[in-house]
Structure 1
Amino acid sequence: MGFDDLRVWVLAGLILLAGLSGAGAQEKSTAEQTVDVMNKLWGSHAGMRANHAKGLVTEGEFTPSEVGKSLSMAGIFAGGTIPVTVRFSNSTGLPTLPDGDRNANPHGMAIRFHQADGTDVDAVTNSLPFFPVKNGDEFRDLLTAVSQSGPDAPHPTPLETFIAGHPRVAAAGAGVSTPSSFARETYNGVDAFIFVDAAGKRQPFRFKIEPFEGDDHLSPDAAKVKSPNFLSEELRARLAKAPASFHLRAQLANPGDQTADPTQPWPADRKVVDLGTITITKVVTNSAAAEKELMYLPANLEEGIEQSDDPLIDARNDAYAVSFGRRQ
């Protein structure tokens, strides 16, 4: 992967899960520093997210399987169908970025499960196979290196130096490309969480959301000639004809598998279970207004689903809160 490709992907894809832990009392928190860098890279746009500024809010329902109930005491798996609010999105903080631009990758799918008692649970996923760096401080440093590595920067640039010491950066984005539809993409939970059942048994897992129709991606040349808003347009047209469905799945860790490093996915032979079906039925009436009020948080959980020791979970929450505060 050449420098130009690396820089484009870092500017676009990495930022999806940006969010970092606090710094010393004498300076801004790392989360604030991270959002500052995003605003430097893409500008500040009133009412918009620092990243994933362009998106579409939809509604539907989740029907759990019996497998989820056996793994977790969480209410979202306990009974019948419940409503969901799902936001699909492009990367970057550019609200007018064409959907076919390679900087719009990876794409995101954030789900909020609404229960009858008022409890909401969030799952925040994206099309990256794993995260490119281990922790929040590394991510801040990566973004800083990007901001200092323009075309006139002497070699080795700060970004080249960073990547040389962090080989997972290039590997994480190597296979990301433009889907033909938001409904034809697989979305991954790069952070590990813990299922807890009624007996207290704990099972580490990562979410994986797979479309019923399977993945379908465009070549770079085909993506370039698409309408600037083709992903939103396609999904609106699709849902006007029929719902779009996804399998909500979980990859289960084996005993001894680490949970703290999001750059290291578990081996492909780890068991994957089907937790139920997410069915998207419609785009909300005023998506632009709805998305401004939404803040999805990876740690918005309930009894039966717990955080692991992955430091990016809290880190992401911190940065999302900073971004939300600024867009309000």
Structure 2
Amino acid sequence: MLGFAMIGAVLGISACAFAYTAGWLSPDRLTPAKLVSALAPPGGHALGHRRNHAKGICFTGDFVANGAGQALSRAQVFTPGDFPIVGRFNLGTPNPNAPDATVRVRGMGLQITTPGGQVWRTAMINPPFFSVSTPQGFYEMQNVLKSKAPGAMKAFTTAHPEFTNFATWARSAPWTSSYAEDSFNGLNAFIFTNSAGISRPVRWSLKPEAPIVPTTQEALAKLAPDYLEREITSRVAAAPQKWKMRVTLAEPDDPTNDPSKPWPEARPSVEVGTLIVRRIEQERDGPCRDLNFDPTILPDGMSVSDDPFPAARSSAYARSYNLRTSEAKDYPYQLPAEEIQK
């Protein structure tokens, strides 16, 4: 009887844990399911697609480390050498058919693999800071953007004043007409630990080597709705495209748990290598189709900080991944990359 009681207790604890994880015991708690559902457009999610950043195109290439990153992290990815990459240019929208000019946020998902089998995955966007300070704020933002209630946005910005800074950036920052001209920023803080055991909070970014030619939303709207994919395919076919990776080091008073607060530009940074995009790949059957760019997948020498977003993104990405892979039959055919440029 004691044995049965022990088994029953274990099952009861497991059931409670499952119920807590699902949010049944705390209906007001933000769960991955609630967060992903909030991203749905009015017509519902596009089946078979990522629940956010649904429009995108894959690429492959190399990360060429220059060795300077070894002073910051013992991760093998910073030892001098070339490491294969798989990535994805994308737009911050749940609509895979959204015209390029209607989406302000552009992103890059990236995976770098080292010979020992360690993997570094990261997801970056082009704004220099995030729109809100907490995952709960992001959830509320998704709901208020779809709300038709009078005063909903005003109430939101009162509760989340940091959103005003992001809105100002969205209105005033110049657009580009190529992914190759965009900077991509890892806005979350992570911890780098070097071979001496010294740890320090960092953020990273990719700066394009291509000359930046500012344009406007109106000018971009006059181009094809899928112009960015066509342009980057043609550009990479003509020559590899490169970005310099810079790692910025925090000072003790810099916030590490709030990606809506940029660190001062005077903070020291280290150029650790060059990202080289050598080939654009079709998305449907390409190498990034089934990649989940989970920002908590890190090699030895890197770890998460007190920033709450990586964990929230990890769980939401997993939810999105499970949903879209279960809907594979609904994913539409996509032209191969060589056909896109015709």
1:278-297 map, 5 Å:
278-284=275-281, 286-290=282-286, 291-297=288-294
Paired with 2:253 and 2:23, the residues of 1 have a C-alpha distance of 31
Residue 49 (1) aligns with residue 50 (2): yes
Paired with 1:193 and 1:126, the residues of 2 have a C-alpha distance of 16
* Residues 275 and 24 of structure 1: CA distance in aligned 2, closer, same or farther (over 3 Å): farther
Paired with 2:309 and 2:272, the residues of 1 have a C-alpha distance of 24
Residue type of the alignment partner of 1:107 = R
Residue 239 (1) aligns with residue 236 (2): yes
The worse-fitting range, judged by mean Cα deviation, of 260-269 and 240-249 is 260-269
Residue type of the alignment partner of 1:66 = G
Paired with 2:264 and 2:22, the residues of 1 have a C-alpha distance of 32
| Matching residue within 151, 160, 167 for 1:166 | 160
Residue 114 (1) aligns with residue 113 (2): yes
Which residue number corresponds to residue 16 of structure 1?
Answer: none
* Residues 244 and 310 of structure 1: CA distance in aligned 2, closer, same or farther (over 3 Å): same
* Residues 267 and 24 of structure 1: CA distance in aligned 2, closer, same or farther (over 3 Å): farther
Residue type of the alignment partner of 2:46 = H
Paired with 1:93 and 1:224, the residues of 2 have a C-alpha distance of 19
* Residues 295 and 42 of structure 1: CA distance in aligned 2, closer, same or farther (over 3 Å): farther
Shift of 1:44: 1.5
Paired with 1:209 and 1:22, the residues of 2 have a C-alpha distance of 37
Residue 191 (1) aligns with residue 151 (2): no
The worse-fitting range, judged by mean Cα deviation, of 215-224 and 300-309 is 215-224
Paired with 2:47 and 2:55, the residues of 1 have a C-alpha distance of 13
Gaps of 5+ in 2: 1-20, 326-342
Which residue number corresponds to residue 71 of structure 1?
Answer: 72
The worse-fitting range, judged by mean Cα deviation, of 27-36 and 194-203 is 27-36
Which residue number corresponds to residue 126 of structure 1?
Answer: 125
- Count of paired positions: 300
Which residue number corresponds to residue 216 of structure 2?
Answer: 219
How large is the RMSD of aligned CA atoms in angstroms?
Answer: 1.8
Residue type of the alignment partner of 1:93 = P
* Residues 268 and 41 of structure 1: CA distance in aligned 2, closer, same or farther (over 3 Å): farther
C-alpha distance after superposition, 1:87-110 (max 9, x if no partner):
000111111111122xx1210011
Quick check: 1:73–1:196 contact (8 Å CA) kept in 2? yes
Which residue number corresponds to residue 3 of structure 1?
Answer: none
Quick check: 2:204–2:247 contact (8 Å CA) kept in 1? yes
Residue type of the alignment partner of 2:56 = G
Residue type of the alignment partner of 2:242 = S
Paired with 1:142 and 1:124, the residues of 2 have a C-alpha distance of 20
The worse-fitting range, judged by mean Cα deviation, of 112-121 and 199-208 is 112-121
Quick check: 2:49–2:324 contact (8 Å CA) kept in 1? yes
C-alpha distance after superposition, 1:217-248 (max 9, x if no partner):
32122011011111111111111110000001
Quick check: 2:101–2:220 contact (8 Å CA) kept in 1? yes
Structure 1 counterpart SS, 2:285: helix
C-alpha distance after superposition, 1:29-50 (max 9, x if no partner):
5221121121244621121011
Paired with 1:319 and 1:215, the residues of 2 have a C-alpha distance of 33
Residue type of the alignment partner of 2:109 = A
Residue 87 (1) aligns with residue 101 (2): no
TM-score computed with the length of structure 2 as normaliser:
0.83
Residue type of the alignment partner of 1:289 = D
* Residues 135 and 22 of structure 1: CA distance in aligned 2, closer, same or farther (over 3 Å): farther
| Matching residue within 255, 259, 265 for 2:256 | 259
Which residue number corresponds to residue 25 of structure 1?
Answer: 25
Structure 1 counterpart SS, 2:310: helix
Gaps of 5+ in 1: 1-20
Quick check: 1:185–1:216 contact (8 Å CA) kept in 2? no
1:288-307 map, 5 Å:
288-290=284-286, 291-307=288-304
Identity %: 30
Residue type of the alignment partner of 2:51 = A
Quick check: 2:55–2:95 contact (8 Å CA) kept in 1? yes
Paired with 2:233 and 2:34, the residues of 1 have a C-alpha distance of 36
TM-score computed with the length of structure 1 as normaliser:
0.87
Which residue number corresponds to residue 5 of structure 1?
Answer: none
Residue type of the alignment partner of 2:25 = A
C-alpha distance after superposition, 1:258-306 (max 9, x if no partner):
211111111111112101000000012x322334311101111011111
Quick check: 2:84–2:112 contact (8 Å CA) kept in 1? yes
Residue type of the alignment partner of 2:184 = Y
Paired with 1:214 and 1:298, the residues of 2 have a C-alpha distance of 29
Paired with 1:299 and 1:213, the residues of 2 have a C-alpha distance of 30
